């Protein structure tokens, strides 16, 4: 029997009514002649509420215990959904990440899946059950409960889809699919029918929240067919596939615009331009487990240079702790942080063979009087750091310049 994996996010199971709605869809899918595995996130704001409770006790909760706490959220959602599906006369059984054989490394709070042992889930499906699985969690190689980090339920779904050889992994969300830009910022943004793994990876890395980076990586690596679908309506959503599976007519120079407002900029002034200095700085930051995104260093003057990089805004406090310790070791004059930035990115596989895209993007921003503070590029992405106050205007002007709206033919630019 074909296996369908469906993942429902926290908003989709946020109330009793929505759980009933999801249960209807799950039962329908099952009755359609599929083996069904459902991955759920915690209801609504449960995870944030639990985190707040821990932080009311201490600002630095023990990571192992915090994971134990946070995983309760999915446990509540999955058992309620299993109760609702059973109430429809459709047999369902729920399993924790641990019970489902999701084995992770031991990094509490952001564990990575190292292995999936789907034996028990396979048995449960074979016994005729709809399987409801807790997202976001696993069991570490030292037998402790771990969490996979924000958005980890998407990764759970893809990992199980890969382990079970599922025909499709459907990610149900509170949006209609993947858009050329966030429709809340750009009302004329168009839903995409298909997008390549590569483009989706860049969009996710650039701050598009619809799919987590790791989930897309995992799907690409294991050839899982991924589909983003609306949880509350019956839209067709967006398929994430290989670039060569996208019909030529649908191929585009630019696939979309993404905005990331969760980062902050850090600048070290007048760092000696010597081998080993940058390494010392980023080694110290990496040792704290802080992800650095863009790094920009300009030509030096008098043997000194300014070094800027971006980090998640939530890590600023820890960045201060790291830099206070090393700013004099690396002989920098001083450092400063800036949390008033946004990162605007333009993504498209067609960029590879089409010079001039960057110039067009910069020109569009300049026309609106928007200053660019940092630039970084990949073969299919251009990102600019700008003032957060300019972000919405920037999305709109770039979206328009590249003709991404609904009423414009694709392929232009």
- Residue ranges binding a copy of itself (CB under 8 A): 16, 19-20, 50, 53-54, 56-58, 60-62, 64-66, 68-69, 71-72, 75-76, 78-80, 82-84, 86-87, 92-94, 99, 120, 143
Name the residue nearer to a copy of itself (CB basis): 83 or 294.
83
Report which of 413, 276, 249, 267 is spatially closest to residue 346, judged by C-alpha positions.
Answer: 413
Rounded least distance, CB 251 to a copy of itself, Å = 46
Please say whether the beta carbons of 220 and 201 come within 8 A: yes
Rounded least distance, CB 288 to a copy of itself, Å = 20
Please say whether the beta carbons of 327 and 266 come within 8 A: no
Rounded least distance, CB 99 to a copy of itself, Å = 8
Rounded least distance, CB 105 to a copy of itself, Å = 18
Please say whether the beta carbons of 1 and 33 come within 8 A: yes
Rounded least distance, CB 83 to a copy of itself, Å = 4
Name the residue nearer to a copy of itself (CB basis): 101 or 177.
101
Strand 256-260 versus strand 238-241 pairing type? unpaired
Rounded least distance, CB 87 to a copy of itself, Å = 4
Q: Tell me the C-alpha distance between 61 and 305, whole Å.
A: 39
CB atoms < 10 A from the CB of 247, how many? 8
Number of alpha carbons in the 13 Å side-chain half-sphere of residue 192: 30
Name the residue nearer to a copy of itself (CB basis): 61 or 235.
61
Name the residue nearer to a copy of itself (CB basis): 22 or 382.
22
Output phi, psi for 351, to 5 deg: -60, -35
Name the residue nearer to a copy of itself (CB basis): 84 or 164.
84
Name the residue nearer to a copy of itself (CB basis): 99 or 167.
99
Helix locations, 87-229, DSSP H: 119-126, 152-164, 197-205, 213-222
């Amino acid at each position: 029997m074909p296996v369908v994996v469906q993942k429902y996010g926290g908003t989709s199971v946020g109330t009793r009514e929505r759980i009933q709605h999801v249960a209807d869809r799950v039962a329908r899918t099952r009755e359609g002649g599929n083996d069904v595995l459902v991955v759920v996130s915690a209801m609504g704001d449960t995870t944030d509420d639990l985190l707040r409770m821990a932080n009311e006790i201490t600002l630095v909760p023990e990571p192992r215990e915090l994971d134990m706490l946070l995983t309760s959220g999915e446990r509540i959602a999955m058992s309620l959904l299993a109760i609702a599906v059973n109430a429809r006369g459709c047999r369902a059984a729920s399993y924790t990440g641990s019970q489902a054989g999701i084995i992770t490394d031991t990094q509490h709070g952001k564990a990575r899946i190292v292995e999936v042992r789907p034996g028990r889930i396979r048995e449960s499906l074979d016994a005729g059950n709809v399987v409801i699985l807790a997202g976001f969690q696993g069991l570490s190689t030292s037998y402790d409960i771990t969490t996979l980090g924000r958005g980890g339920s998407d990764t759970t779904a893809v990992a199980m889809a890969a382990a079970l050889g599922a025909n499709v992994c459907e990610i149900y969300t509170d949006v209609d699919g993947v858009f050329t830009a966030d429709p809340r910022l750009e009302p004329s943004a168009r839903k995409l029918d298909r997008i390549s793994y590569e483009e989706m990876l860049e969009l996710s890395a650039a701050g598009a929240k619809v799919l987590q980076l790791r989930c897309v990586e995992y799907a690409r690596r294991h050839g899982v067919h991924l589909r983003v679908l609306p949880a509350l309506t019956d839209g067709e959503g967006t398929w994430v596939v290989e670039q060569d599976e996208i019909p030529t007519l649908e191929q585009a120079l630019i696939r979309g615009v993404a905005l990331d407002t969760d980062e902050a900029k850090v600048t070290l002034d007048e760092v000696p331009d010597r081998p080993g200095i940058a390494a010392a700085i980023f080694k110290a930051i990496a040792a704290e487990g802080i992800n650095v995104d863009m790094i920009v260093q300009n030509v030096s003057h008098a043997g000194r240079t300014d070094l800027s990089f971006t980090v998640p805004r939530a890590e600023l406090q820890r960045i201060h702790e790291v830099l206070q310790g090393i700013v004099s070791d690396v002989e920098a004059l001083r450092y400063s942080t800036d949390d008033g930035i946004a990162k605007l990115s333009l993504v498209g596989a067609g960029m590879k063979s089409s010079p001039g895209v960057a110039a067009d993007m910069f020109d569009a921003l300049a026309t609106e009087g928007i200053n660019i503070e940092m630039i970084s590029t990949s073969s299919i992405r251009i990102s600019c750091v700008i003032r957060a106050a300019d972000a919405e205007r920037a999305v709109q002007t770039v979206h328009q310049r590249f003709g991404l709206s609904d009423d414009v033919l694709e392929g232009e630019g």
